[in-house]
Amino acid sequence: MCSQTVLSMEPALKIIEELSPVSEGAIIPLLQRLQDAYGYLPQAVVAEAAEKTGLPFSRLYGVATFYSQFRMTPSGRHTVRCCRGTACHVRGSKEVADALERELGVGDGGTTEDMRFTLETVACLGTCFLAPVIMVDNDYYGSLAPDMITKVLDSYQ
């Protein structure tokens, strides 16, 4: 069964109108507002923004894909960040990452089919003393072993 939803341009049009005229220097705030409204930056919304502002689509799309703060695909309800930094690596982050990928059925940057989780790999979470460590949304889980992953994920619906 196909469950495709039609994307409403209404939030985008409202934001563009509020920020108009949009200059080159206002591209990032514009994209941030659009992402806040949609949860990510759908290509159709970027195209609409280009048409309405008169800025080239290639410019808007280029900025959106350059900065890691922007997502071009929808994210899951929860973001799992798996640290692969040196401190975590020497304490077994590879096994933790493998367990996460197995449990979620997606790789780095992937989102589960039920839109529950998006998995991301990061260079350091700034809590090396907890190695190996992952974050789920704003919660830290440290000194992890692969067999603890299921229990951690089960607490997020």
Q: Is 96 in the site for ligand FES (CB under 6 A)?
A: no
Peptide bond before residue 42 is cis, with ω within 30 degrees of 0: no
Residue 136 in contact with ligand FES, rule: CB under 6 A? no
Only segment of 21-29, 43-51, 97-105, 124-132 that touches ligand FES (CB under 6 A)? 124-132
CB of 85 to ligand FES, least distance (A): 2
Contact map string, positions 48 to 87, toward ligand FES, x by CB under 6 A: -----------------------------------x-xxx
Cα 127 to Cα 109: distance, rounded to the nearest angstrom: 22
Token pair recorded at residue 90: 């020497």
Neighbours of 8 (CB within 10 A): 11
Stretch that binds ligand FES, among 18-26, 45-53, 103-111, 120-128 (CB under 6 A): 120-128
Among 45, 99, 100, 133, binds ligand FES (CB under 6 A): 133
Closer of 64 and 135 to ligand FES (Cβ): 135
Rounded CA separation 67/13 (Å)? 23
Distance between CA 124 and CA 143 in Å, rounded? 15
Using CB under 6 A as the binding criterion, the count of chain residues that bind ligand FES stands at: 11
- Measured between alpha carbons, how far is 61 from 58 in angstroms, rounded to an integer? 5
